[in-house]
Amino acid sequence: MTTNFEDKLGQGGSGSVYKGKLRSGHLVAVKSLGKSAANGQDFINEIATIGRIHHVNVVQLVGYCAERSKCALVFYYMPNGSLDKYILNKEKSSSLDWDMKFKIAVKVARGIEYLHHGCDIQILHFDIKPHNILLDDKFVPKISDFRLAKLCATNKEAVTLTTARGTIGYVAPELINRSIGRVSYKADVYSLGMLLMEMVNLNKDLTRNNDESSKYFPNWIYDHLNKGEDIDIGNDNENDDRNIGRKMTIVALWCIQMNPDNRPSMNKVLEMLEGDVEQLHIPNYPAYMAGNEDENWATNSNGSMSLLHDINDSSIIEIVSIA
Residues 6+ apart with CB under 8 A from 71: 32, 33, 37, 38, 43, 64, 65
Verify that 95 and 68 share a domain, yes or no.
no
Q: Do residues 174 and 191 both lie within one domain?
A: yes
Do 62 and 155 fall into the same domain? no
Average pLDDT, rounded, for the chain: 79
Rounded to whole angstroms, the Cα distance separating 28 from 18 reads 8
How would DSSP label each residue in 141-179? Answer: EEE---TT-EEE-TT------SS--S-TTTS-GGGT-GG
Same domain, 54 and 154: no
Give yes or no: residues 259 and 196 share one domain.
Answer: yes
Together in a domain, 88 and 72? no
Identify whether 212 is part of a domain.
yes
- Segment 293-316 mean pLDDT: 33
Domain count, the chain: 2
Identify whether residues 252 and 205 lie together within a single domain: yes
The answer to whether position 321 is within a domain reads no
More confident residue, 309 or 288: 288
Residue 102's Cα: distance from chain center in Å? 15
Final residue of a structural domain among 32, 58, 76: 76
State the CATH number of the domain containing residue 101: 1.10.510.10
- Which residues are known to be catalytic? 127
Question: Is 50 in the same domain as 191?
Answer: no
Q: Which residue has the higher pLDDT, 304 or 31?
A: 31
Fill in the amino acid letter for 92.
K
- Provide the 3-class DSSP secondary structure of residue 319: coil
Same domain, 275 and 247: yes
Q: Among 129, 109, 55, which Cα is nearest to 269's? A: 109
Is residue 2 included in any domain, yes or no? no
The H or E element spanning position 87 is: helix 84-87
Is 322 a domain residue? no
In angstroms, rounded to a whole number, what is the distance separating the alpha carbons of residues 172 and 299?
14
Q: How far apart are CA 297 and CA 292, in angstroms?
A: 9
58: DSSP letter: B
Mark whether 203 and 60 lie in a shared domain.
Answer: no
State how far the Cα of 304 lies from the Cα of 170, in Å rounded to an integer: 7
111 lies in some domain:
yes
Q: Do residues 93 and 87 touch, judged by C-beta distance below 8 A?
A: yes
**Residue 320 belongs to some domain of the structure:** no
pLDDT above 60 (res 294): no
* Same domain assignment for residues 236 and 89: yes
> Alpha carbon 59 to chain centroid distance?
14
pLDDT of residue 235: 47
Domain limit, last residue, from 54, 76, 98: 76
Strand ranges inside the chain, DSSP E: 8-11, 15-21, 27-33, 61-67, 70-76, 122-124, 133-135, 141-143, 150-152, 297-299, 305-307
Structural domain includes residue 150:
yes
Please report the pLDDT score of residue 224 as a whole number.
66
Q: 107-163, pLDDT tens digit by residue?
A: 999 999 999 999 888 999 999 999 999 999 999 999 999 888 888 888 888 888 767
pLDDT tens-digit profile of 19-64? 999 999 999 999 998 766 545 677 887 888 888 788 999 999 999 9
**What domain range includes position 23?**
8-76
* pTM of the predicted model as reported, rounded to 2 decimal places: 0.81
Domain termination site, one of 57, 76, 95: 76
CATH of the domain at 23: 3.30.200.20
HSE, CB side, 13 Å, CA atoms: give it for residue 191: 28
Whether residue 213 sits in one domain with residue 66: no
In-domain check, residue 198: yes
